[in-house]
C-alpha cells in the first residue's frame, strides 16, 4: 500500500482552467492529428459536470497504431472525466526521444500526473527523473520501467509472467506429444514482453525435463517489434533458415498476424501453429478463423480505469495498491465461437 498527501493546492487552482469533463457511458475516440503527435481524448455528452475541473493527466502511449493502447487511452479519458481531469494523449511511436520530449511537455504544462507505456524499460529513466524532480507523480500502464533511480508512483498491468506460462501450456497442447521446433517473436525493449517470454520458457523447460522424445525446442528468438510488418519479416527469415519450425509464440497479436501472413506466403500455414498474446479484436477473430491457436488475453480497459482511480487516490492522499497485476485468461477457438463481438 502507498500513501502520500497531495501538496499542490495552489497548482490545482491554476490547472482548473485546463480541465474538461464528459458524460459517462459515451465512447471516447482517440486519434492523432496528421500535423501533431498530440491529441486530447475528447469529451462528449451533454450531462452536467458533477466534479470540479481539476487539471490534466498526460499519457504518452507506446504506439497508437496498436489498438490495445487506444483502448487504455479511451478508458483513462472516460474514468478521468468522472473525477474532473482531462487526459492529454500523445503517440510516442515507440521512440524514447519522442516520449522523453512528451514528458518534458507535461512537466511544462504542470500536469497533475503522468502516465506512460515506456518505449524502453531502461532508457526512459532520465525523463522520469525529471518528472520526479518536478514533483509530478509518474504512473506506468501495461509496460514497466526498471531504470535505476527512476521513481514510479504506481503501476497497473498484466500478470505477464503468468500469461507467458499460459502461452507455454497452449503451445504444449497444440503441438502434442510430437513436440517440435518453436520460434519466439520477442520485443525485448518492453519489460512485459520479457516476462511473457520468461514464463513461456519456464513451462517449456519443465515440459522438456526428463523427456527423451517429443521435446519442444526453441530454435530462434527474434525481434518481432510487436508489429505486423516486423513479425512478417522475422518469421519469413526464420522459416527460410529453419523450414522445420512447427510452432511460433508471438508476444502480441499484431506480430502474430504478421507471422501468419509470412506462413501463408510460404505455404506453411498447416505446418506451423501460432500462440499469441493480448486478445485484441483482430486476434480473437484470427483465433475464430483458425489462424492463431490461442491467446492469453489482457484487459486494457481495466488498466486504463484502475490507473486513473489510483492517480486520484494518490492525489487525494488515499491508500492504493502500488502495483496491480491483472491475471490473463486463455482464449481458444471454443471461446471465439461464442464471442458476441466477433463476426
- Contact between 157 and 142 under an 8 Å Cβ cutoff? The reply is yes
Q: Indicate whether 37 pLDDT > 60.
A: no
Q: Does residue 116 have a pLDDT over 60?
A: yes
Residue 16 has pLDDT above 50, yes or no: no
Residue 27's pLDDT is 28
Average pLDDT taken over every residue of the chain: 87
Confidence (pTM): 0.77
Residue 291 main-chain phi, psi, to 5 deg: -80, -35
pLDDT digits (tens, 9 = 90+) for 197-245: 999 999 999 999 989 999 999 999 999 999 999 999 999 999 999 999 9
pLDDT in tens, 273-326: 999 999 989 999 999 999 999 999 999 999 999 999 999 999 999 999 999 999
**What integer pLDDT is reported at residue 52 of this predicted model?**
60
Query: Which pLDDT band holds residue 81 (cuts at 50, 70, 90)?
Result: very high
pLDDT for 190 equals: 84
pLDDT in tens, 122-135: 999 999 999 999 99
pLDDT at 21 over 60: no
Domains, in order of start, for the chain = 9-152 (3.40.50.2300), 160-298+332-336 (3.40.50.2300)
User: What is the reported pLDDT for 231?
Assistant: 98
For residue 257, pLDDT over 50 is answered with yes
Report residue 99's pLDDT band, with 50, 70 and 90 as the boundaries. very high
Contact yes or no for 182/171 (Cβ under 8 A): yes
Q: Judge contact between 308 and 83, C-beta under 8 A.
A: yes
Taking only the tens place, the pLDDT of each residue in 57-74 is 999 999 998 889 999 999
Give me the percent of the chain exceeding a pLDDT of 90: 80
Per-residue pLDDT at 24: 27
User: Is the separation of the CB atoms in 216 and 207 below 8 Å?
Assistant: yes
At 83-98, the pLDDT tens digits run 999 999 999 999 999 9
Residue 46 has pLDDT above 80, yes or no: no
**3-state SS string over the chain?**
CECCCCCCHHHHHHHHHHCCCCCCCCCCCCCCCCCCCEEECCCCCCCCCCCCCCEEEEEEECCCCCHHHHHHHHHHHHHHHHCCEEEEEEECCCCHHHHHHHHHHHHHCCCCEEEECCCCCCCCHHHHHHHHHCCCCEEEECCCCCCCCCCCCEEEEECHHHHHHHHHHHHHHHHHHHCEEEEEEECCCCHHHHHHHHHHHHHHHHHHCCCCCCCEEEEEEEECCCCHHHHHHHHHHHHHHCCCEEEEEECCHHHHHHHHHHHHHHCCCCCCEEECCECCHHHHHHHHCCCCCEEEECCHHHHHHHHHHHHHHHHCCCCECCEEEECCEEECHHHHCCCCCCC
Predicted pLDDT of residue 50 = 41
pLDDT value for 45:
33
CA 64-154-304 angle, to 5 degrees, is: 35
Cell of 156: 497497473
Which pLDDT score is estimated for 56? 97
Cα–Cα nearest to 88, from 67, 117, 68, 109: 109
Predicted pLDDT at 102:
98
pLDDT confidence bin for 343, thresholds 50/70/90:
confident
Amino acid at each position: 500500500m502507498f500513501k502520500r498527501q497531495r501538496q499542490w493546492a495552489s497548482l490545482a487552482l491554476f490547472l482548473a482552467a485546463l480541465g474538461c469533463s464528459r458524460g459517462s457511458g459515451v465512447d471516447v475516440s482517440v486519434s492523432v492529428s496528421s500535423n501533431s503527435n498530440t491529441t486530447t481524448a475528447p469529451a462528449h455528452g451533454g450531462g452536467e459536470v458533477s466534479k470540479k475541473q481539476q487539471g490534466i493527466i498526460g499519457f504518452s502511449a507506446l504506439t497508437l497504431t496498436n489498438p490495445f493502447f487506444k483502448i487504455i487511452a479511451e478508458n483513462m479519458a472516460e474514468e478521468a472525466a468522472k473525477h474532473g481531469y482531462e487526459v492529454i494523449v500523445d503517440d510516442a511511436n515507440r521512440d524514447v526521444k519522442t516520449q522523453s520530449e512528451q514528458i518534458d511537455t507535461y512537466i511544462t504544462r504542470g500536469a497533475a500526473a503522468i502516465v506512460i507505456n515506456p518505449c524502453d524499460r531502461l532508457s526512459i529513466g532520465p525523463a522520469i527523473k525529471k518528472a520526479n524532480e518536478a514533483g509530478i507523480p509518474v504512473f506506468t500502464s501495461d509496460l514497466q520501467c526498471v531504470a535505476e533511480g527512476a521513481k514510479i508512483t504506481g503501476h497497473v498491468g498484466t500478470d505477464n509472467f503468468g500469461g507467458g506460462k499460459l502461452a507455454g501450456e497452449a503451445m504444449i497442447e497444440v503441438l502434442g506429444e510430437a513436440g517440435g521446433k518453436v520460434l519466439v517473436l520477442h520485443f525485448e525493449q518492453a519489460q512485459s514482453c520479457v516476462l511473457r517470454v520468461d514464463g513461456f520458457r519456464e513451462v517449456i523447460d519443465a515440459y522438456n525435463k526428463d523427456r527423451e522424445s517429443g521435446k519442444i525446442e526453441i530454435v530462434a528468438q527474434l525481434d518481432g517489434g510487436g508489429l505486423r510488418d516486423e513479425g512478417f519479416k522475422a518469421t519469413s527469415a526464420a522459416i527460410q533458415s529453419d523450414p522445420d519450425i512447427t510452432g511460433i509464440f508471438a508476444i502480441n497479436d499484431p506480430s502474430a498476424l504478421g507471422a501468419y501472413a509470412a506462413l501463408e506466403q510460404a505455404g506453411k500455414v498447416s505446418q506451423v501453429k501460432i500462440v499469441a498474446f493480448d486478445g485484441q479484436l483482430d486476434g480473437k477473430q484470427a483465433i475464430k478463423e483458425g489462424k492463431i491457436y490461442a491467446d492469453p488475453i489482457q484487459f486494457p480497459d481495466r488498466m486504463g480505469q484502475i490507473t486513473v482511480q489510483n492517480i486520484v487516490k494518490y492525489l487525494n492522499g488515499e491508500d492504493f495498491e502500488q502495483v496491480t497485476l491483472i491475471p490473463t485468461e486463455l482464449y481458444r477457438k471454443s471461446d471465439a465461437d461464442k464471442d458476441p463481438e466477433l463476426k
